[in-house]
Amino acid sequence: MSGLTHFDAAGNAVMVDVGGKAHTERLAVARGRVTMAPETLRTIEAHGFKKGDVLAVAQLAGIMGAKKTSELIPLCHPLALTSVKVELRPDPAASAVEIEATAKVAGQTGVEMEALTAVAVAALTVYDMCKAVDRGMRIGDIRLVRKEGGKSGTFEQG
């Protein structure tokens, strides 16, 4: 069925059998952003939200999200992640918080979904913590920017 790996010949959803694949070091990097009013970003930078340090809480939430990916995304393999790093950086010029997540595993399948989930959960956490003062925030541009390891090799885009 069009080369999609999560469907069998009859079109039924299946979890891909990775049992015969070699264990290799795999890495994925994903990015995204939360765009907001300039005052909201200034409040984040000044640690002015009563709920706590927005960037620190979102960083932790992103790491936790990566660890829960197989519970959130159907047909995703549970992975023994060896590393998850989530960085959030204020970008005053864009009035946004830029988010980057890097996930690593030594295994039989990639970690793209874990990196993407980490970014999405971190972005949702920023929104949740700031929504009382800025309901117009926008979460966007979540994308895979790098993948290493496995049979398909390296993928990279800006």
Told to judge if 53 belongs to the known catalytic residues of this protein, a careful annotator would answer no
Instruction: Catalytic residue, from 8, 17, 53, 128: name it.
Output: 128
Phi-psi region of 63 (alpha: psi -120 to 50; beta: other; left: phi over 0): alpha
* Secondary structure of residue 122 in the 3-state scheme: helix
Structure tokens at 127: 């929104």
Whether 119 contacts 104, CB under 8 Å:
no
Q: 73, 76, 153, 85: which is closest to 122 by C-alpha?
A: 85
DSSP for residue 78: P
Q: In what order do the strands lie in the sheet with 83-91?
A: 83-91, 96-107, 24-35, 138-148, 155-156
Which residues are marked as active site? 128
